[in-house]
Amino acid sequence: MTYIQFTNLLKYKQIQHFVAADNMSLMSPDGVGNRQLYADAFHFALQNAVSANQSHGCNVHRVLLSDAGCGAVDAQSRIDNCDALITNELDVPLFIMTADCVPLLLYDAENQAVAAVHAGWKGTALRIACRAVERMTAEFGSKPENILAGIGPAIGECCYEVGDEVVEAVGREFVASVTSSGKSKLNLPLANSAQLVSCGLKNENIEFSGICTCCNAAWPSWRREQTQRRLASVIWLKS
């Protein structure tokens, strides 16, 4: 098992979380088995887990108890057409799947609510991170200044070469460098952090994994190998 956790989230006993490099895609044979492996290790009921059918958009879904099990072990039952899951229900793990895109885990310790967010460049351009915070505010009374965030492994500025379309959509201020061929190297995790700050989160409440998925062979990377493997970023409220 290869996974990381965020120190800012580990301080709270009311939640559990992890970001696992082991493949948990429901589109591949070992995905469900790895999900069960982590469920056993982290003591949660896999049958209560929820996954999204991510669409690189900005839809946010509030997960209710009636959603428990959607996308837990089969792709067909995933919550359709959304890229962020939020909940205040207990023992309902939220799964977000990525392989270079930016995964974000959010926690409101005051109102006991969590979120898992998928932010590719299109979702970042649509400010999906802020959409999730706004929904937490509307649904749970969350105050952005009280929300903690973990920004998980994603393709880094070292490897993320993009064209002008992506730069203009995300923001030229997040270009780290320009290659000799004229391609821009974009810092997508930083763009999402900046968006979180713009909607009220405190800088000191945001933690970066610092892992580039493309550089590190232990982590799934579409840019590196067009893989069907997906890493999972998971968070839930404990009973």
- Domain regions of the chain by residue span: 3-154+206-237
Label residue 28 exposed, middle or buried (CB < 10 Å: 0-12, 13-18, 19+). Answer: middle
3-state SS, residue 192? helix
Indicate the class that CATH gives domain 3-154+206-237: alpha beta
* pTM assigned to the model: 0.97
Tokens representing 81 are 């057409």
pLDDT digits (tens, 9 = 90+) for 83-136: 999 999 999 999 999 999 999 999 999 999 999 999 999 999 999 999 999 999
Residues 6+ positions from 187 with CB-CB distance below 8 Å:
156, 157, 160, 174, 175, 176
Report the C-alpha gap between 106 and 93 in whole angstroms.
Answer: 13
